[in-house]
Amino acid sequence: MKGRRILLGLGGGIAAYKVCEVISSLAKSGAEVRAILTDAAQEFITPLSVATLCRHPAYTDQDFWQPTHARPLHIELGEWAELLVLAPLTANTLGKLAHGLADNLLTNTVLASTCPILLAPAMNTDMWEQRTVQANWQQVLGNPRCHGVGPGAGILACDRVGMGRMAEPPEILVAIESLLQTGGRRDLAGQRVLISGASTREYLDPVRFLGNPSTGKMGVALAQAAYYRGAAVTLVHGPMEASLRSLLPPVQTVPVTTGEEMYAAMLAHQPEADWIVMSAAVADVKPARYVAEKLPKRSLPDQLELAPVPDILMTLGDRRLPRQTLVGFAAQTGDILPPARDKLQRKKLDAIAANPVDQADSGFGTSTNQAIFLDRHGRQQAIAPCSKLSMAHQLYDFVLTIDTSNGAGGLADLGQPDWPESFKGQ
């Protein structure tokens, strides 16, 4: 996010206070942030508060009408921004956007810009559900520049419970990072992406299980990235914290617990998928015998008999359709490349992400990751430590460049990768 140029437009609604968290997070990440407040927005939050968080003066209509800039202010701001974020987006501003109207600094800047626009509506439920408002919303989203986040359902400032609540700051930040990563491209539009995420649990009795530390953050990031690239997404996931699930955009979710349940769910959804991305950390083995009641400590076996869990990725590779793209993950320690190459070939994958779980801030439970991407033609690309959302986007970028016109070759060599320091000597 460092150095990225983001322009926020605040409308008149109580949800404007939540935008302060968005601005603060962006500024702390190193982004350059500017803000425009409508006259109505200033009834809820002051330009001084916003300017303090932006580390830059906030703009209002008073600035618009002052001849203090070498060039018209709306032109300068429209050309400066890499991304416009309108939050909260009111019914009034939405109506102006739908009909190309411009009577203040914010709407003039929208018309003077060419960058992607992220819209975060916020209003009373009855207002949101009005036919005219819904028609305006659909018309605006028909513009390839415009992307929506929310609204969600919940208790509103009017004490009504229903749709119209502005998306929470973490959701808006995910959408911002995604649109900056892609430039607003919807290069997965019309594609159905099936993703697995999190870990599985193989129970010995009702309270003890074999498992691993995977939290599902990478799977969620893959779902977020695919959604903002235009895909229809299904996420099959193991146990996952509610706070992480709340960050998911509108995608289909299929919760499971065991490896066999994930096996059944992935195979059930495979036929309609165009892409399958297997990031879940699925157990390899399970206790051979399940006991329906908690075993007393004295009854625990000295040696635990194990049975295999179905190999989901191998089965998906065997059953894949010609049109399907199949991507796997290989969580490894030590020299991560040989086992990843072996897995890529044995399981008939198009690409694999080998990530070192023995490196700091990588792998299970972290918010960041690093990897080496490999494809079936022998290409490889090193990914330096970054957010898991960034890695998800880079993985899609990598796979989208795979030549599918023939079974081998046909790809330009990426050259010697610029290895992150943690991979030196591997």
Give the distance from CA 96 to its chain's centroid: 29
Does the annotation mark 158 as catalytic?
yes
Catalytic, out of 20, 54, 146, 158: 158
Placement of tokens 């699925």 in the chain:
282
Q: Residue 302 contacts by C-beta under 8 Å, 6 or more apart in sequence?
A: none
The stretches of 59-124 forming alpha helices (DSSP H) are: 61-64, 73-80, 91-98, 105-111
Largest CA distance in the chain: 84
Q: At what angle do helices 217-228 and 388-400 cross, to 10 degrees?
A: 60
Burial class for 410, CB neighbours closer than 10 Å (0-12, 13-18, 19+)? exposed
Give the phi and the psi of residue 169 in degrees, each rounded to 5. Answer: -50, -45
Token pair listed for 31: 């982004």
Are 22 and 172 contacting, i.e. CB atoms less than 8 angstroms apart?
yes
Q: Which residues are catalytic?
A: 158
